[in-house]
């Protein structure tokens, strides 16, 4: 069964604190009637700091879409290899063992995808499949995990590398002063993440089932307006309320797999914002503490888009409290409004151990 191994995450060197964000917002948007509300919303995000690829003063200058995209390409090529090398080591595989690369990013554009450059520059095999995902936003981390599971299921013994490169600061638009834009400028941060899904063996989450769901009629609630100055993030005020219709979908995924979503061992949830996490905990009837990995990502890095689920999963590994057979859920949310979800069980290396855990669970349920 495909196993999601320990991710690697890196954040850039430039730090923006909550205090910095408030100070720059007051300077750039002084006198705007919507500023007081935006400042209160930013303070309520719980984001203590974020990391970005250039000083905030430079990010706010906005040199134009062409220059920003050039920076996206150069920063991606500079930052991805180190993260990939660590993810490969975490999974105990090499570049020659990788059969497909899934690259997810919504903050810049390249054609060919960065996957081609990675294959040429890092020594991956030339028959490595390339699967770029560019338009699922924050849901793409969950989608990448699900597509990797499906690839490994269709091609037994294969290994898939997931790479997430989100340089959200390159989408800051200092000229946009609506509340949604101001809030997003105080919420999103930059990060690069990678993880390997092994088709056989490995330590991590053995992926057992996945699901996708789109809330009807919400495709314009999270979107980009593509203009001369680049990507303009648009956020509808109704987005924070989407966990009420999505919670039953997550519950049904677990139930259809024979599990109670209220009683799992771990929860890896996209940290879109504090209300997303609070509402999902409430509607699933799960202790807020069970979302601690997502809360930590939000507090320390902000919303890092598709990389959130990888960072939250990294924190699960590093806490080192999970035990073989523990069950869990992974969920990413993004434009559409789309949810990409998976359920899995912690495994410590071999399929045989996982099968024993499943057998024990089945036996206990029959007693």
Selection from 197, 202, 75, 82 nearest residue 143 by Cα: 197
Please, which residues bridge with residue 133 across strands? Answer: 104
Please, which residues bridge with residue 213 across strands? Answer: 339
Q: What dihedral angle (degrees, nearest 10) is formed by the CA atoms of 260, 264, 270, 271?
A: 120
Residue bearing tokens 């930013």:
42
Helix (H, G, I), strand (E, B) or coil at 8: strand
User: From CA 276, how far away is CA 262, in angstroms rounded?
Assistant: 17
**The token pair that represents 210 in the structure block:** 């996945």
CB atoms within 10 A of CB 252: 14
Contact 322, 266 (CB under 8 A): yes
Residue 294 is given by DSSP the state H
Annotated catalytic residue: which of 5, 138, 152, 171? 138
**The token pair that represents 114 in the structure block:** 């960065």
- Radius of gyration, alpha carbons of the chain: 20
Residue bearing tokens 């999902």:
280
The answer to whether 138 is a known catalytic residue is yes
CA atoms within 13 A on the CB side of 190: 26
Q: Which residues, at least 6 apart from 65, have a Cβ–Cβ distance to it below 8 Å?
A: 228, 229, 230
Beta strands 159-167; 266-269: pairing state: unpaired
The catalytic site residues sit at 138
């Amino acid at each position: 069964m495909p196993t999601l191994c320990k991710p690697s995450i890196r954040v850039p060197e430039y730090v923006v604190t909550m205090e910095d964000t408030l100070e720059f917002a007051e300077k750039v948007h002084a006198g705007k009637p919507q500023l007081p509300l935006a400042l209160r919303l930013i303070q309520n995000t719980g984001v203590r700091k974020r990391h970005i690829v250039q000083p905030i003063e430079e990010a706010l200058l906005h040199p134009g879409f062409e220059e920003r995209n050039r920076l996206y390409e150069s920063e991606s090529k500079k930052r991805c290899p180190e993260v990939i090398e660590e993810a490969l080591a975490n999974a105990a595989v090499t570049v020659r063992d990788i059969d497909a690369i899934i690259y997810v990013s919504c903050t810049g554009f390249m054609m060919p995808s960065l996957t081609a450059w990675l294959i040429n520059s890092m020594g991956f095999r030339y028959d490595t499949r390339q699967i770029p995902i560019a338009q699922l936003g924050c849901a793409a981390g969950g989608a990448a995990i699900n597509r990797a599971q499906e690839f490994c299921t269709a091609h037994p013994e294969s290994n898939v590398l997931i790479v997430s490169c989100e340089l959200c600061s390159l989408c800051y638009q200092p000229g946009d002063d609506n509340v949604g834009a101001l809030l997003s400028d105080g919420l999103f941060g930059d990060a690069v993440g990678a993880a390997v899904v092994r088709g056989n063996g490995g330590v991590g989450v053995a992926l057992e089932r996945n699901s996708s769901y789109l809330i009807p009629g919400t495709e314009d609630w999270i979107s980009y307006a593509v203009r001369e100055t680049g990507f303009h993030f648009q956020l509808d005020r109704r987005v924070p309320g989407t966990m009420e219709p999505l919670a039953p979908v997550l519950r049904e995924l677990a139930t259809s797999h024979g599990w109670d979503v209220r009683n799992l061992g771990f929860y890896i949830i996209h940290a879109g914002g504090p209300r997303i996490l609070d509402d999902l905990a409430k509607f699933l009837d799960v202790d807020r503490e069970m979302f601690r990995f997502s809360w930590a990502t939000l507090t320390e890095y902000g919303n890092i888009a598709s990389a959130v689920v990888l960072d939250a999963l990294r924190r699960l590994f590093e806490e080192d409290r999970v035990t073989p057979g523990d069950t869990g859920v992974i969920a990413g949310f993004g434009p559409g409004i789309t949810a990409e979800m998976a359920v899995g069980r912690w495994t410590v290396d071999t399929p045989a151990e996982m099968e024993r855990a499943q057998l024990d669970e089945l036996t206990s349920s029959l007693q």
